[in-house]
Structure 1
Amino acid sequence: QLGRELDSTRGLIDALRAQDHEHANRMHTLLGLLELEMYDDAVEFVGEVVGDHRATAEEVAGKIQDPLLAALLVGKATVAAERGVALRLSERTGLPDRLVDPQGLVTVVGNLVDNALDAVAGTAHARVEVELRAEGRAATLTVRDTGPGIPVEQRELIFTEGWSTKQRPAHRERGIGLSLVRRLAERQGGTARVGEAAGGGAEFTVVLPEALTGPEPALTAQGDVRIGPEEESR
């Protein structure tokens, strides 16, 4: 339990660290505009920054009502933007604030998003899509990416403890945390598997049959929500 909480905390800290770095860059930009006496540009810049951040947070919170998980995804959007990756929520995403173990789901989501970002980093038109859906007491998490994918013969091997430290293929980073993801899923009577995403890349799916405290009407999907700006790959 302590190890799981520590892993969740690490994921949030990494996201906050990326946000802090982004904030510092923005402050340097603002300082430069003021020193150059470009006051109108400075006012416009601040307005755009504040508006973008508020819109991102509100859009994520509208679909992910658990505050811990929403905060993680907003932070991961910053991490993705710094790495030139577009991170978005699927149009089918809708998760109420009724999680039995929000820290456990933060660990699962954080690990899968981090591995997806590693897989697509440096590729053209890099994208990662996160989908979280609730049905009754069950929750289904899907993370898709546009990376090289996982060969069929390795789709079970990657969930083995320490696998990534012994292999160095293009998707070597995927081994980090995947054994933990499967253990957390299985402890809740669920499953974790990987397949091929539509159009290539990998698609990780975690099903947790008892993730929510009780049935409620499903949240209404409101279309795709981009939580990280589309950037060209560096």
Structure 2
Amino acid sequence: MRSETSRVLITTARAQHHEFANCLHTVAGLLHMEMYDRATEFIAELTRARTTKTRRADHVREPVLSALLVGKSAVAAERGVALHIGASTSLPRRALVPHDLMMVLGNLIDNALDAVAAHPVPDPRVDVDVWAEGDTVVLRVADNGPGVPPGARPHVFTEGWSTKQPHPGRGVGLAQVRRIADQYDGAAALDERAGGGAVFTVRLPRALAPEAVAGR
């Protein structure tokens, strides 16, 4: 468990580092070409985008999930995908087992990024929404990729199943999502996204600490 958590955090940290380095190189290039106004505009654009994402991630009061969202935004940017955190995203600070929520959300986002990256579409995007219903945490991730054929949908949470080329490491993430949902007596569902793509929704009952629910 700890090694998997470390792997996720290291991956997101590396992506943030690369994104930061690319931004610095772009600013340095604009300054070198004496395009000072464009450099100023570029910095302002970055600041606005980062502020919006950070503000919405801050609405997730569980620090592990908030940090994951910021990190996955950098991963998405590295892959040329826009990751949007829903304006209604909101969650009390404490989760009983933050690692479980991190693994579910991280796997759903990775799966969505793979879907849009493997089948390029105009303006690829992934939409993330996280909210609480009482002590139940609901995590929803949608993408505008090719979607999943109806006949294949019953198998997406099966270990080893994948739309990608066969590989020993394939078909693990969504199976893990289902296992965690089962542990909470919750549910993991796949639906078609309006306009094309897929929507994954996971409900985890009793995932929030009692005092967090009482303090909402």
- Under a length normalisation based on structure 2, what TM-score does the superposition of the two structures give? 0.84
Partner of 2:93: 97
Percent identity over paired residues: 48
Q: How far is 1:150 from its partner?
A: 1.3
SS, match of residue 126 in structure 2: strand
Query: Take 1:144 and 1:51, find their aligned partners in 2: how far apart are those partners?
Result: 23
Q: How far is 1:19 from its partner?
A: 0.9
Q: CA deviation digits over 1:56-110, x for unaligned, max 9? A: 312320x211111111111111222222222112233211112111111111101
Q: How does 1:65-104 map to 2 (within 5 A)?
A: 65-104=61-100
Partner of 1:187: 183
Contact 1:193–1:206 (Cα < 8 Å) also in 2:
yes
SS, match of residue 21 in structure 1: helix
Moved more, 37-46 or 154-163: 37-46
Work out whether 1:6 is the aligned partner of 2:9. no
Query: Take 1:136 and 1:9, find their aligned partners in 2: how far apart are those partners?
Result: 30
Moved more, 155-164 or 112-121: 155-164
Work out whether 1:32 is the aligned partner of 2:29. yes
Q: How does 1:39-50 map to 2 (within 5 A)?
A: 45-46=42-43, 48-50=45-47
The one-letter code sitting in structure 1 at the alignment partner of 2:87 is E
Partner of 2:133: 135
Gaps of 5+ in 2: none
Q: How does 1:50-69 map to 2 (within 5 A)?
A: 50=47, 52-61=49-58, 63-69=59-65
Moved more, 13-22 or 173-182: 173-182
Gaps of 5+ in 1: 219-234
Partner of 1:212: 208
Residues 83, 104 of structure 1: alpha-carbon distance in 2 compared, 3 angstrom cutoff = same
The one-letter code sitting in structure 2 at the alignment partner of 1:18 is A
Moved more, 65-74 or 192-201: 192-201
Q: How far is 1:50 from its partner?
A: 4.4
Which structure's relative contact order is higher, taking Cα pairs within 8 Å and 6+ residues apart?
1
RMSD, aligned CA? 2.4
Q: CA deviation digits over 1:138-197, x for unaligned, max 9? A: 111111111111122222212111122xx547xxx9834111111111112212121212
Q: How far is 1:46 from its partner?
A: 4.5
Q: CA deviation digits over 1:23-81, x for unaligned, max 9? A: 111222333345456666656655554454344312320x2111111111111112222
Partner of 2:102: 106
The one-letter code sitting in structure 2 at the alignment partner of 1:101 is V
Contact 2:56–2:85 (Cα < 8 Å) also in 1:
no
SS, match of residue 194 in structure 1: strand
Partner of 1:230: none
Query: Take 2:214 and 2:184, find their aligned partners in 1: how far apart are those partners?
Result: 20
Work out whether 1:123 is the aligned partner of 2:107. no
Query: Take 1:86 and 1:174, find their aligned partners in 2: how far apart are those partners?
Result: 24
